[in-house]
Structure 1
Amino acid sequence: MSEAINIELIYALPARQQLIALKVPAGTSVRQAIELSGLLDKHPEIDLTKNKVGIFAKLT
């Protein structure tokens, strides 16, 4: 069984931000973490083929 790590995802818009904290298996990709967070269900306007994502302000 792989180790789990705690992460935080932030969906930032000009007027508001949403922070989601969750535990994922070590080695989880950025895309997998976003999918596991439920963020795509809450914000169907997000398109991972077009929207940019990053880790600590570095594009990923």
Structure 2
Amino acid sequence: MPQHAQITRVCRDCDGYATAAITTGVRRPDGSRATLRVACPACRGTGTARRVRPLGAVIK
């Protein structure tokens, strides 16, 4: 079965999963765990890749 072309450009480093919650191992007084939110350094948490201009493109 043919696959449809992807319209958006997904980040190569995070595959579109731009942020991750990492458990620190510490529990809060209410019993929940303390977590850190970390963003992908390549796409800065957007999940999409930057558009790359072709090498021969003229900038105006």
TM-score, normalization by structure 1: 0.19
Structure showing the higher helix proportion among its residues: 1
| Greater per-residue strand proportion | 1
Q: Structure with the greater relative contact order (CA < 8 A, sep ≥ 6): 1 or 2?
A: 2
Which of structures 1 and 2 has the bigger CA Rg? 2
Question: What is the TM-score normalised by the length of structure 2?
Answer: 0.19
